[in-house]
Amino acid sequence: MTKPYVRLNKDDAAVLLVDHQTGLLSLVRDIDPDKFKNNVLALADIAEYFKLPTILTTSFEDGPNGPLVPELKAQFPDAPYIARPGQINAWDNEDFVAAVKATGKKQLIIAGVVTEVCVTFPVLSALEEGYEVFVIADASGTFNEMTRNAAWSRMEQAGAQLMTWFGAAGELHRDWRNDVEGLGTLFSNHIPDYRNLMTSYSMLTQGK
């Protein structure tokens, strides 16, 4: 009767980045902008590093919501890019669902803006269809902590697993011996404390 450990597996996972648009980002106030930007780019680096199929989608990018942040567009030039004409829940867009299904993956890693809408809605839809869903909570932002907490509650109740980008990286990598250099660089680029540890270490052991 024990509960199975539903564990992220790099061969089973795809990444969905939902509505990280320049206008919508001004609504995000539950995470400091410097940190939030870092978290989103860290998740993007994870997707690229582990070669996870990645899907980009936006909502009304020609209007006040603004375009997708250019860094994401640049990092995934070949990713399916679904500019939704109106659907608020990305899962209501057939092209988006088709792109998800085309990945052939059963695990979905999702992040977006704002948490209770652009993340929660497709999370609930994907769970209903039987996907294993992992929310990258710190790459998802919203108006305030109350809004976030309510969104988390709803996703938890439905069976989503709440993670943050660092945990996802660790669970996907499994073993440092798979590539010390690569993961270390990723951490160094996104965790100032870790970068400092590496610099100190390197200075003492290699003199530079």
Q: Which is nearer to a copy of itself, 14 or 114 (CB)?
A: 114
- 43 within 8 A of 139, measured Cβ to Cβ: yes
Q: Tell me how far apart the alpha carbons of residues 28 and 148 are, in angstroms, rounded to a whole number.
A: 10
Catalytic residue among 118, 135, 168, 183: 118
CB of 183 to a copy of itself, least distance (A): 9
Task: State in angstroms the smallest separation of the CB of 163 from a copy of itself.
Answer: 6
Residue 78, φ and ψ in degrees, nearest 5: -105, 5
Shortest CB 45 distance to a copy of itself, Å: 15
CB closer to a copy of itself out of 7 and 101: 7
Question: Which residue number, 79 or 90, has a Cβ lying nearer to a copy of itself?
Answer: 90
Q: Is 119 annotated as catalytic? A: no
| Spatial distance between the Cα atoms of 153 and 171, rounded to a whole number of angstroms | 23
CB of 93 to a copy of itself, least distance (A): 9
Between 15 and 132, CB nearer to a copy of itself: 132
Phi-psi region of 163 (alpha: psi -120 to 50; beta: other; left: phi over 0): beta
Q: Give dist(CA 165, CA 34) in Å, integer.
A: 15
Tell me the C-alpha distance between 10 and 70, whole Å. 26
Q: How far apart are alpha carbons 184 and 47 in whole angstroms?
A: 15
Point out the residues that are catalytic: 118
